[in-house]
Structure 1
């Protein structure tokens, strides 16, 4: 457990801080509470487009990267369904440069036709490489379209259609920016070798003058409870058959999430995990198999994805997967197996957050969920998972009427 310092500016910006004197670096992590869930069905991919546009020049700084490099720093960003995240790391003696740069692009982007054209082409090329030209690249689109019928999670962060980005206008992107990129819709996490007083002073100096904005608080439509199995079979020019199963789950903030996450670890994390050992190594049903959760603000889904070995039928693959599900529903997980999962989570949590930048990102995410102490409760919550709880959640989760299955068939 760590002591996280907090300060909220008059314009609504939430600043959180942790001092780490073991490094000579400082990290600024700015997390905006906007992602693909905030897009409309006819304008998708905008949150991801903005991840790129934010590096194309702000109102007073035409070349962002040059100043970062001159300060001896690095920067990058990522986008998901719920959040858009930007980070800068600089030597501690150049910390103010990071505050200056990050505050200027929160104030306003340059919004030039050239920047839009450049970044739009980059994003469109990424869409083509990842989702059109890459084998199995459209499986995320296919699975989400089965699981979600109303909620905006029904398209991935990259967007629903390529033409949504291709047709984006300067007015479109300006409108999106001023609806979501605001101090009162962001968390600024500052970590590394900088005191709380200095971090607060620089935050007030550079971010304080930015006015709050009328943030769009429209929530996505609630997804109706699924009551029947959904299936889709497609044929593509890929080397091997693949099966993907998606099952709706809770939000990352719900009490049962650590138990569900532990189930995925039991199934596929590590060479001794059940599906790896039984279905890959021993029975050789799959060449590879994975199971993971969506850690989303709204109810997400669990995914099981397996690439079939030659000679294995889809029927056999499904039967074997459900056999592992049924074991969790009927048998209690052993003490050793469960403790191994807990130890792994605790050790990875400690190791990851020894890095000042990783810590900044993780406490920013916790704060963006409404309670920064969610970060400190993570390990205790995972250590509290029980074998009875796993069996109970498995019985509720692994039911055919909740199942969405994509059979991805290789052309002969």
Structure 2
């Protein structure tokens, strides 16, 4: 499960994927995360979470722009822009150096839906982060030199991860199979590296003034800041940054038509072994079924107690690896299954067993006992997750970008209200063949039957 679902991750787990030493309770008592939110006159959404016990602050700036907003013929541009944001602004020639001098660290990532920049530093140096983020929001340093440098970096990244690694072009094949009109049809890194090579400084400026404006952003601050001064500090650095202008409107995205048929593609390539990737299309992040689908993915293919692992790896010896995850993009999601047959397994038999196990989940469903174990694990995971002030800042920025910052306190309740009937219903609803897109990689030198159930 990816992004901002209440996922199930962590290294301190037993053979079933649950934390060691935990005596599960039906309900873990938790305190609500207190926050306040407001909007500056220029449209910047601000979310504040004060924790007086912290000696650090986490500062996040989320821009509501991702690869789905890449301009025509410039796929991968949102990702390129993430790199450009560290190449200097009007008063800051080197972002990283300035932050490190204040004892801070930072990172950033681009998704299909948004781009997030985050810093952690001593609370006493909060204004350094506010200055740095406001300076590059106000006026990025546009130069042919920095553009040329970052284009080279991104193109090399594309070649290394997509062209030179086995299965590296998976999401090029899979996304274009699933989506026909929506810009999710290319991966975050872009459709082709030539789109990045051809990017101009004019493209950069247009993208900046269209998407990197305060009215398209969220600023979240969490930690040990001074609550009586924080609003004044934010206003000092951000209030006079101009909002979007009428000549830089943000276009509406096309709506992907309903999928009504199974779609399949075979890729013969220089890969070490065959692999099967299945994508069952699901609704977007805010759909009421989202929590039940998330739990279904865990029970289907996360950890050694999951159905896919028990049937195909532990008991069947047909697969070396198999897992299920939940793509939680805003406009449309997916149940993703990644399966690598065992080296000595018959490929056709393995593939047939994979689909048979998926049908078993649809037909037999899950039990109350299985659901209770997941809920207990979920509560424990969420408890540890909310301890981190960095996680709190990130979650608040994300939920505020959806216009629902209260979800930081209500999202867990959505999961706790999921019933066995809900999980079994979404299994029948979304594990349907007409919602399936499949990409199989076959070893180039081999002849396989493939695509037979």
- TM-score of the aligned structures, taking structure 2 as reference length: 0.89
Matches within 5 A, 1:9-408: 9-214=40-245, 216-408=249-441
User: d(CA) in 2 for partners of 1:321 and 1:346?
Assistant: 30
* Partners of 2:302 and 2:325 within 8 A in 1: no
Distance in 2, Cα, partners of 1:87 & 1:313: 47
Confirm or deny: 8 A CA contact 1:5 1:196 kept in the other structure.
Answer: no
What is the deviation of 1:41?
A: 3.9
1:322-373 alpha-carbon deviations (Å, 9 max, x no partner): 2222222222411221111112222222212211111111111111011111
Q: Is the 8 A contact 1:40 1:152 kept in 2?
A: no
In structure 1, stretches of 5+ residues that fail to align are none
Offset at residue 61 of structure 1 (A): 1.1
Q: Distance in 2 between matches of 1:199 and 1:186?
A: 18
Once residues 376 and 175 of structure 2 are traced to their aligned partners in structure 1, the CA distance between those partners, rounded to angstroms, is 32
Q: Do the aligned residues in 1 keep the contact of 2:271 with 2:443 (CA within 8 Å)?
A: yes
Output one character per residue of 1:12-57: Cα deviation in whole Å (capped at 9) or x when no partner: 1010011123321111100000001111341100100011100000
Query: Higher mean Cα deviation, 369-378 or 79-88?
Result: 369-378
- Structure 1 runs (4+) greater than 6 angstroms displaced: none
1:272-303 superposed Cα distances (whole Å, 9 cap, x missing partner): 11112221122122111121122111012221
* Residues in 2 aligned to 1:378 and 1:317: alpha-carbon distance in whole angstroms: 38
> Residue 107 of structure 1: CA displacement?
0.4
- 2:86–2:96: 8 Å Cα contact kept in structure 1? yes
Distance across 2 between alignment mates of 1:367 and 1:226: 30
- 1:264 & 1:59 partners in 2: Cα distance? 46
Partner SS state of residue 72, structure 1: coil
CA distance 1:22–1:208, shift in 2 (3 Å): same
Q: CA deviation at 1:252?
A: 0.7
Distance 1:53 1:274, change over 3 A: same
Is the deviation greater in 230-239 or in 266-275?
266-275
Q: Which whole-Å CA distance do the structure 2 matches of 1:203 and 1:45 have between them? A: 31
CA RMSD in angstroms comes to: 1.3
| 1:41/1:300 CA distance change after superposition, 3 Å | farther
Larger CA deviation: 300-309 vs 237-246: 300-309
Distance 1:20 1:117 in 2: 42
Residue in 1 that maps onto 2:8: none
Residues 157-181 of structure 1: CA distance to partner in whole angstroms, max 9, x if unpaired?
0000110001111111111111000
Alpha-carbon distance in 2 for matches of 1:120, 1:95 = 32
Q: Normalised by the size of structure 1, how large is the TM-score?
A: 0.97
Mapped to 1, the partners of 2:227 and 2:362 lie a distance apart of 49
Instruction: Out of 270-279 and 309-318, give the one that drifted further.
Output: 309-318
